[in-house]
Every structure is written in structure tokens, then in C-alpha cells.
Amino acid sequence: MGFITGNKNRQKLLALLGSKGEMDAARIAKNMHVVKPSVDKILAELVEKELLSEDGGVYDLTELGTTVERSIHAI
């Protein structure tokens, strides 16, 4: 949980996917107003932590990611 709460962009990305559903990296970057290379790095970290799944360049919250996103949203 500290991994997410320690970085505002990680929090924003989880919240974005939690509210809008699956998206590709370019759309995530545009919605977050963050450059795509930064978004790509965050996406890779979140996939590695099993908070996101990736299928054909489209990212979505995993069950764990949804649980974490809801927990953070409740804070």
C-alpha cells in the first residue's frame, strides 16, 4: 500500500482505471497529463506488483489492484 500512496501518479493511475476502466498507455498519459515515458514506467511497476494486467497494450486493474484502489479511495 505504501508503494502506491508514496507516489501521486501511481495513485492517479489506479484511480483513473478504477473509474474509467481499461485503457492503453497513450490514453492514460493524456488523461493524467503526464508524458507517456513516465506512464510506461508506472504501468510496468504496477504490472510487476500484479496490480494491473496488460493485454495487447491495454491495461486494467487486477482483482488486487481493484482492492488497493478502493482502499486508497476510502482514505
Task: Say how far apart CA 46 and CA 24 lie, in whole Å.
Answer: 14
Q: Look over the chain and give the mean of its residue pLDDT values, rounded to a whole number.
A: 94
Say if residue 16's pLDDT is above 80: yes
Give the contacts of 37 (CB within 8 A, at least 6 positions apart).
none
Q: Which residue has the cell 504490472?
A: 47
More confident residue, 15 or 4: 15
Task: Say how far apart CA 16 and CA 23 lie, in whole Å.
Answer: 9
Q: What is the mean pLDDT of residues 12-38?
A: 97
Question: Which fold, 2-74?
Answer: Arc Repressor Mutant, subunit A (1.10.10)
What's the gap between Cα 7 and its chain centre? 11
Task: Say how far apart CA 47 and CA 41 lie, in whole Å.
Answer: 10
Say if residue 75's pLDDT is above 80: no
pTM passes above 0.85: yes
Task: Say how far apart CA 51 and CA 35 lie, in whole Å.
Answer: 21
